[in-house]
Chain A
Amino acid sequence: MPEVLKAPLVVEFPFTRSLGPVQSAFLTGLRERVVLGVKTTDGRTLVPPVEYDPVTAEEIRDLVEVAPTGTVTTWAWNHEPRRGQPLAGPFAWVLVRLDGADTALLHALDVPGPDAVHTGMRVRIRWAEERTGAITDIACFEPYDGEPDQPGGHTGEFENPLTGIVAPARLDYTYSPGRAQSDYINALSAQRTVGERCPSCRKVYVPPRGACPTCGVATWEQVEVGPRGTVTTYCIVNIKAAHTANLDIEVPYVYAHIALDGADLALHARIGGIPYDEVRMGLRVEPVWTQGARHPDHYRPTGEPDADYDTYKELL
């Protein structure tokens, strides 16, 4: 059985967040080494604070300061920290109920090993040297055997409050296109376009998916299509997409749907070798390959007469 392709796929984006009044005060507070909670309608103090009462759904805005010391309510040992976690070496994930709070905050506890952690142990905040208004302004917690700290009376009013943050997200995948697409991609490297025919409706799919989306049955019969085809429809792209993958394509260019001869649905490709404003529905085209590329760079006119509309209207 031929090899199924695999490759890493890393998805990464710096999302922005508007904080709203409560998260704004909480994160600005961390920047100023102040931990704020919010009072609920029934008098409890929630840390971290939320905007709406979890019991009554009322808007809650009464911010109160709590102490930087507290008690571990439960924990789990992290043997092997991953990228972006609070500490580089092994640490404990802890839920800490800060003195003056009724709920616990999730963070890291810096201790040498799991034997040095227990539920009920006393801890305090180790502040980061540089603070920007983020949960990482608390570098981590550390063991503490002193008296509970007394919270100040801060009410959440700050100079230059933070109103938004950037929250980078990153996902690491191993991507596999599966058997059918691997066959298709491998054939392309020999400059052949190979689709699959549905055993039920007899339609030829390019690229093949290994199953017919209409009949819901597996496909395996390989059918070589093209290389020539017909432009069924297209648009002229006049703006550069804000996508890094497209930065080397000059505008205007023609983005076309091309029904390769023998295929029952169109694939999408760029048209070249003809002024953009001379491209038309029915234009006959063929692929242009570049050395070492996995896909045709673009399609160009073959010089044949245009296809009659009736021959491709069902493929629109």
Chain B
Amino acid sequence: MSKEPVAVVGIGQTKHVAARRDVSIAGLVREAAGRALQDAELTWADVDAVVIGKAPDFFEGVMMPELYLADALGAVGKPMLRVHTAGSVGGSTALVAAGLVAARVHGTVLTLAFEKQSESNAMWGLSLPIPFQQPLLAGAGGFFAPHVRAYMRRSGAPDTVGSLVAYKDRRNALKNPYAHLHEHDITLEKVQASPMLWDPIRYSETCPSSDGACAMVLTDRAGAARAPRPPAWMLGGAMRSEPTLFAGKDFVSPQAGKDCAADVYRQAGIADPRRDIDAVEMYVPFSWYEPMWLENLGFAEAGEGWKLTESGVTELYGDLPVNMSGGVLSANPIGASGMIRFAEAALQVRGQAGEHQVDGARKVLGHAYGGGSQFFSMWLVGSQPPES
């Protein structure tokens, strides 16, 4: 028996900001979930199960927050489960929820991811002072910057490419009311003049720290038929993992990322992603990851991704728009960031992306990664249901 097609019929997110001091974690997730239900014109009673994700518990220091969020998410008397895959968790959470619909376990599933970084300490949560180990900690930027340098060496990309990505994403964010950063006076010169934090990564080429949540309502064919607005249809979805460090690991273009994309394309019948996919919302926490992922995801040959960025192909009005929402560079509630990518892809094919809508977006890829470039989750959504 074939899988049940999965449709996205409701999307909700919070306005991502540095600190939401007015709400508890329950209040934050509730806001996004309520908006997703409102978009789908459904009530709590219409939801059969809840699948939630966030970054590690150490971030906010609430162990298993899903336990106390059951009532805020209307999960009482229903299955509720939690997904953990570091920064990619928002994407994996949506895929676990989609799997429940595809397998006909549930008809309608609410999926949600969040982070309240203002109540969190990611630096502390990720780098405990382990006995016998040398303390040599440079934060997430220090972890990823050497890989960016390796990419620059391997591809021969000019060192301005990172600033072009940041300038583009921050301008896209101005069109997205939910983005955290709205830098109205942004210029390329300002990005290029911003301080070098972890050379070759500049301050303006890094993501902010945000509070936010994102929710989606996923449903089956029957649910989609009742939906008040056009659904987004899942055409393919996959997750892949690999160890953080191993001999032969390619940090510039991890094998798990390539395999994950290939699986999605196979499911969706995508022969040439550059030609067949209209836009991409990918997880770019440091600007140089745009050209790196363009190669990893098969939109460009190895060493060629930066040329798409440099020639304007990835601009909002380019031939392959990337990070129409402003991306992780413009809002990063860590646990939610992957789901925001997935939700943006769905918004685009539903024609609901507002000012940052890409004209004629029919097939859009949503991408997330996490840990030490070791967890990948992706989905391709379309404006038309999959051919069965």
Chain A interfacial positions (CB closer than 8 Å to B): 5, 7-9, 11, 13, 15-23, 50-57, 59, 163-164, 167, 169, 175, 177, 181, 185, 201, 203-205, 212-214, 232-239, 241-246, 252, 255-257, 264-265, 268-270, 281, 294-295, 309, 313-314, 316
Q: Of A11, A52, A163, which is within 8 A of B128 by CB?
A: A11
Evaluate contact between A238 and B76: CB separation under 8 angstroms: no
Q: Is the interface of A mostly helix, strand, loop or mixed?
A: mixed
CB distance from B59 to the nearest CB of A (A): 9
Which chain A residue shows the least CB distance to B153?
A281
Q: Which residue of B lies closest to A19 (CB)?
A: B24
Interchain CA distance A257-B245 in the complex, whole Å? 12
With both chains docked as a complex, state the minimum distance between the C-beta of B352 and any C-beta of chain A, in angstroms: 25
Q: Is B187 an interface residue (CB 8 A)?
A: no
**A164-B21 contact given A239-B197, A241-B139, CB 8 Å threshold:** yes
Cα–Cα, bound, A25→B117 (Å): 24
Q: Say yes or no: A255 contacts B72, CB within 8 Å.
A: no
Q: Flag if A203 contacts B248 (CB, 8 Å).
A: yes
Q: Is B74 an interface residue (CB 8 A)?
A: yes
Assuming the A-B contacts A235-B138, A316-B252, are A214 and B150 also in contact, with contact meaning beta carbons closer than 8 angstroms in the complex? no
Q: Would you call B137 and A245 a contact (CB within 8 A)?
A: yes
Known: A243-B135, A257-B146, A295-B134. Contact between A51 and B72, CB under 8 A?
Answer: yes
Which residues on the A side are within 8 Å of B76 (C-beta)?
54-55, 57
By a CB distance below 8 angstroms, the chain A residues around B1 are none
A233 in contact with B123 (CB, 8 Å): no
**With an 8 A cutoff between CB atoms, is B121 at the interface?**
yes
Q: Which of B178-186, B198-206, B293-301, B303-311 contacts A (4 or more CB under 8 A)?
A: B198-206
Give the contacting residue for B249; candidates A23, A57, A164, A265; CB below 8 A: A265
Residues of A within 8 A of B247 (CB): 201, 203-205, 214, 264-265
User: Closest residue of chain A to B131, judged by CB?
Assistant: A7
Q: Identify which of A51, A57, A167, A316 contacts B24 (C-beta below 8 A).
A: A51
18 contacts between A and B (CB under 8 A): A9-B131, A15-B119, A17-B119, A20-B24, A51-B24, A52-B26, A52-B71, A56-B44, A57-B71, A167-B61, A205-B247, A233-B146, A234-B146, A238-B198, A241-B137, A255-B198, A257-B146, A316-B252
Q: What distance in Å separates the Cβ of B368 from its nearest Cβ neighbour in chain A? A: 22
Interface flags for B134-157 (1: CB within 8 Å of A; 0: not) read: 111111011001111110011000
Is there an interface contact between A13 and B137, defined as CB atoms closer than 8 Å? no
List the B residue with the shortest CB-CB distance to A244. Answer: B129
Name A241's contact: one of B138, B199, B248 (CB within 8 Å): B138
Evaluate contact between B198 and A7: CB separation under 8 angstroms: no
Contact A9 B123 (CB under 8 A): no
Known: A53-B71, A54-B71. A243 touches B123 (CB 8 A): yes
The CA-CA distance from A120 to B356 in the complex, in Å, is: 63
**CB distance B201 to A235 under 8 Å?**
yes
Closest CB of chain B to A233's CB: distance in Å?
Answer: 4
Determine whether the beta carbon of A9 is less than 8 Å from that of B24: no
Residues on B close to A: CB < 8 A?
19-24, 26-27, 30, 44, 60-62, 71-74, 76, 116, 118-121, 123-124, 127-132, 134-139, 141-142, 145-150, 153-154, 195-201, 243, 245-252
- Asked if B150 and A238 make an inter-chain contact with CB atoms under 8 angstroms apart, the answer reads no
Complex: A16 Cα to B62 Cα, angstroms? 11
When distances are taken between beta carbons in the complex, the residues of chain A under 8 Å from B199 are 235-238, 252
- Choose among B19, B121, B138 the residue that contacts A255 (Cβ–Cβ < 8 A): B138
A18-B20 CB under 8 A given contacts A57-B74, A213-B246, A241-B123: yes
Minimal beta-carbon separation of A221 from chain B (angstroms):
15
Closest to A268 in B: B136
A52/B30 in contact, CB under 8 A: yes
Q: Say yes or no: B24 contacts A175, CB within 8 Å.
A: no
Contact A20:B132 (CB < 8 A) given known A163-B21, A203-B248: no
Contact check: which of A9, A18, A235, A270 meets B146 at CB < 8 Å?
Answer: A235
The interface residues of chain A lying within 8 Å CB-to-CB of B138 are 235, 237, 241, 246, 255
Shortest distance between the CB of B247 and any CB in chain A (Å): 4
Q: Contact between B248 and A16 (Cβ–Cβ < 8 Å)?
A: no
Known contacts A241-B137, A316-B154; A20/B61 CB under 8 A: no
Determine the residue in chain B with the shortest Cβ distance to A295.
Answer: B134
Bound state CA distance, A281 and B55, in angstroms? 34
A23, B146: Cβ atoms closer than 8 Å: no
**Which chain A residue lies CB-closest to B202?**
A238
Contact of B149 among A163, A185, A237, A281 (CB under 8 A): A281
Contact B149 A214 (CB under 8 A): no
Q: A18-B22, A235-B201, A241-B142 are in contact. Are A214 and B128 (CB under 8 A)?
A: no
Residues of A within 8 A of B251 (CB): 316
A residues less than 8 Å from B195 (CB atoms) = 238
Instruction: For B141, list chain A residues within 8 Å (CB).
Output: 235
Kindly provide the distance from the CB of A175 to the nearest chain B CB, expressed in whole angstroms: 5
A242 nearest CB neighbor, chain B only: B123
**3 closest Cβ pairs, A-B complex:** A245-B135, A57-B74, A235-B145
Assess the A175–B139 pair: CB atoms within 8 A: no
Q: Complex Cα distance A122/B247, Å?
A: 66
